[in-house]
Chains A and B, each alone.
Chain A
Amino acid sequence: MTAGNPHLFEFLLRQGDNALVLGHRTSEWCGTAPALEEDIALANTALDLIGQTQLWLAYAADVEGAGRSNDDLAFLRDVYDFRNVLMLEVPNEDFGRTMARQFFFDAFQVPWLSALQNSSEQRVSDIAHKSLKEAQYHLERSAETVIALGDGTELSNQLMQTAVNYLWPYTGELFGEDDTDVAMHSQGIAPLPASMRKAWNDTVFSTLNEACLTAPDDPFAHTGGRNGVRHTEHLGHMLAVMQTLQRSYPGATW
């Protein structure tokens, strides 16, 4: 049974909000990327993520059973109701940080979605199966781009190293563990995020090495996004833009 399972609702919000917040951030590049091909690639990546958001949040809305839709969850919740990891809400800054963030996220999503294909919940498994194909394609591109920029010019290397240093303290939250994670694990719905650590490390360290970049040797991790306790100041600004239409014209439809 899914109805009346608050941990499942929370879990689904986390999946949907990660895809939504990164999808929106990525879409901010539309029309302003450094080259036409990159502009198109970023917009397509954003589109995949928004598509995945619709699947996760529609499921979350069904589990909640309060008559809300996936659009209601996306456009009518406030900052502290969001359950994305903090790394995904910080500003794009530049192309280097955008691609480094995409890479750190993709390197998590590929093993994570692979594992979710075996979920005891059929609908989780179906969404994971669909999303995994897209995540694998994203990882191929983000890893290649991190290498091309890291092992590029002196300037591109320096900008990528700055991006890695900035993002690194945010990566630890991906592997967080609380009551919801334990409940999902014990119900066979999802593995513990911490069990993705080895696969993530393997991908990340080998890619950074190839990219002539180094990971900071500091285990400190910012937390608070995936449980909604403490978002950064940036999410509210992002939502103000993303939600403006529904906030200004409540109930507007196509």
Chain B
Amino acid sequence: MVSAQAFTTEQVWQWLEQIADPEIPVISIVDLGVVREVRVNDNQVSVVITPTYSGCPAMREIESNISTELARRGIQHLNLETKIAPAWTTDWMSDEGRIKLESYGIAAPEASGGPKRCPQCQSNQLEKISQFGSTPCKAQWRCLDCLEPFEYFKCL
């Protein structure tokens, strides 16, 4: 049994940081900005999450992964809530998340609406292949120097 004061808000955040995004496993759900709020009251833990896109099919898996992970850490009373407001934005992605994305081969979101550089060879000679990609949050681009296609995380 875990006593009532066995965990803090900071600890819960750290545990959530260990949970990977199901579709882009290189970044965590905290890096992605999907976890909005954590509250700890005695032995009751509340976690608020928000979907990236309203039809994001990963939400159920994210919920289930949070429940499983926190139960494993000894949290018995979890109140998991989904809120759509304020609406998710790529501004909430952490700097660390952006770096991890790039090194994984996915260009990070830019306010200009397109990738800054090829994640493979760093060239800025790029062209858009399609506004959509393998998940709702990505588009497909191609590098005109190394000729590699790559994914770009859409700015939202």
Q: Which residues of A contact B (CB under 8 A)?
A: 37-38, 40-41, 44-45, 47-52, 54-55, 122, 125-127, 129-131, 133-134, 137, 140-141
Contacts and interface: CB of A to CB of B under 8 A. Distances in A.
Most chain A Cβ neighbours within 10 Å, of B86, B130, B132: B132
Given A54-B55, A134-B53, 15 more contacts: A37-B129, A37-B130, A40-B130, A41-B131, A44-B136, A47-B55, A48-B54, A52-B54, A55-B54, A126-B84, A126-B85, A126-B87, A129-B86, A130-B54, A130-B85
Most chain A Cβ neighbours within 10 Å, of B55, B87, B129: B55
A-B CB proximity, top 4 nearest: A51-B55, A51-B54, A37-B130, A126-B85
A63 B131 CA distance: 36
A140 B113 CA distance: 12
A137 B131 contact: yes
Nearest to B156: A133
A48 B132 CA distance: 12
Q: Interface extent on B, as a size class?
A: 20 to 34
Contact of A129 (B53, B87, B136): B87
B140 interface: yes
Nearest to A46: B55
Interface string B1-15: 000000000000000
Contacts of A137: 131, 154
A40 B134 contact: yes
Contacts of A125: 85
B56 A51 contact: yes
A33 to B, nearest CB: 11
B111 to A, nearest CB: 14
A37 B55 contact: no
B114 interface: no
Contacts of B119: none
Interface of B: 51, 53-57, 84-87, 129-134, 136, 140, 154, 156
A1 to B, nearest CB: 20
Nearest to A132: B87
Nearest to A141: B131
Nearest to B113: A140
Contacts of A140: 131
Contacts of B55: 47-52, 54
A37 B142 CA distance: 13
Contacts of B154: 137
B84 A55 contact: yes
A133 B51 CA distance: 13
B131 to A, nearest CB: 5
Most chain A Cβ neighbours within 10 Å, of B54, B57, B136, B140: B54
A40 B56 CA distance: 14
Nearest to A43: B132
A37 B54 contact: no
